[in-house]
Amino acid sequence: MNTNTFPPATPAGSRMPALFVPHGGGPCFFMDWHPADTWDRMAAFLKGIAGTLPATPRAILLVSGHWLERDFALTGHERPSLIYDYSGFPAHTYELTYPAPGDPALARRGAGLLGADGLPAIIDPARGYDHGVFIPLKLMFPKADIPVVQLSLRHDMDPAAHIAAGRALAPLRDEGVLIVGSGMSFHNMRGYGDPRYTPVSTAFDEWLTQAVESAPAQREALLTDWTAAPYARDCHPHGGEEHLIPLMVAAGAGSDAEGRKVYSEEVMRTVLSGFRFG
């Protein structure tokens, strides 16, 4: 299955949505794969996102499952480098580029919003963009001309704290900033390609969709208790939920907006989905 239920674009100046998008497997979109079309529909979904937005974002705040710190952290470099934090892939994938500028002012603004809500945050002046940032953004905004700030996860991966972080950052949506959670709704490396995980991932995805599409207060309660979902730990093993937690930030940033599934398909025998708030 493959769905794309983004609403039509609205006039410039409207509030930006918050998104949770899948970023695939390593640099999967930029190399040969078998079967060759494994990632084609996911790539098409990512490429289509820009056309669904109310305007071109002034900046992007993206939280990736590949950066964890004790407290929340934001990239503060004006020209962040790339971190090729994957291994065993073709040589050319370590030469991919994404020269999007940073936005130190946005980093300071984000840290201030988090701190004002009792969530300590630091600015890392040297950190670059990991592949959870530059791989999906190369498809979403290939010109690399929109400033990007990356937000870390917290090591504790406390869902309530990450929902709270999203709520704290929600005002940025009215400032032309697109908030993106980049991860995977299913992320158990043992499960990819294993048909036994098709019903497992399906059941978890159905629960996750119901949670996201619930009223905001109920949505937050359900996502906070996500480990109670069917097959939760089969889909995100204990200590390995870093690819799901960016969804919590996006959901929190969604504030009182409606949540909806905007992409879903079976990839490598597992169901993967993307969500939008607002």
d(CA 172, CA 18): 10
Residue with tokens 């040297």: 126
> Are 173 and 84 spatial neighbours (Cβ–Cβ below 8 Å)?
no
Is 50 inside any structural domain? Answer: yes
Helix (H) or strand (E) holding 250: helix 245-253
The model's pTM is: 0.94
Q: Which percentage of the chain shows pLDDT scores above 90?
A: 94
Is 147 inside any structural domain? Answer: yes
- Residue 265 forms beta bridges with which residues? 272
Q: What torsion, rounded to 10 degrees, do the Cα atoms 33, 38, 41, 47 define?
A: -20
Specify the number of domains making up the chain.
Answer: 1
What are the φ and ψ backbone dihedral angles of 221, each rounded to 5 degrees? -65, -45
Query: Does position 8 have pLDDT exceeding 80, yes or no?
Result: no
> Are 250 and 18 spatial neighbours (Cβ–Cβ below 8 Å)?
yes
Report the Cα–Cα distance between both ends of the chain, in Å, rounded. 23
Sign of the Cα torsion 269, 249, 223, 238 reads positive
Nearest to 104 by CA among 145, 76, 125, 143: 76
DSSP class per residue in 114-135: HHHTT--EEEESS--B-HHHHH
Is 6 inside any structural domain? Answer: no
Give the tokens for residue 265: 């398909």
Is 163 inside any structural domain? Answer: yes
Give the tokens for residue 227: 């480990």
Nearest to 227 by CA among 156, 155, 159: 159
Is 7 inside any structural domain? Answer: no
Say which DSSP state 96 is in: -
Instruction: List strands edge to edge, sheet with 177-183.
Output: 121-124, 72-75, 148-154, 59-69, 177-183, 18-22, 270-277, 259-267
Is 12 inside any structural domain? Answer: no
For the chain, what is the mean pLDDT?
Answer: 95
> Are 18 and 179 spatial neighbours (Cβ–Cβ below 8 Å)?
yes
What domain range is 113 assigned to? Answer: 18-277
Q: Which CATH number belongs to the domain containing residue 214 in this structure?
A: 3.40.830.10
Is 3 inside any structural domain? Answer: no
Q: pLDDT (tens digit, 9 = 90+) per residue, 91-118? A: 999 999 999 999 999 999 999 999 999 9
Q: pLDDT (tens digit, 9 = 90+) per residue, 169-225? A: 999 999 999 999 999 999 999 999 999 999 999 999 999 999 999 999 999 999 999
Say which DSSP state 184 is in: -
Is 194 inside any structural domain? Answer: yes
59-69 and 177-183: which strand pairing? Answer: parallel
Helix (H) or strand (E) holding 159: helix 159-169
Q: pLDDT (tens digit, 9 = 90+) per residue, 114-170? A: 999 999 999 999 999 999 999 999 999 999 999 999 999 999 999 999 999 999 999
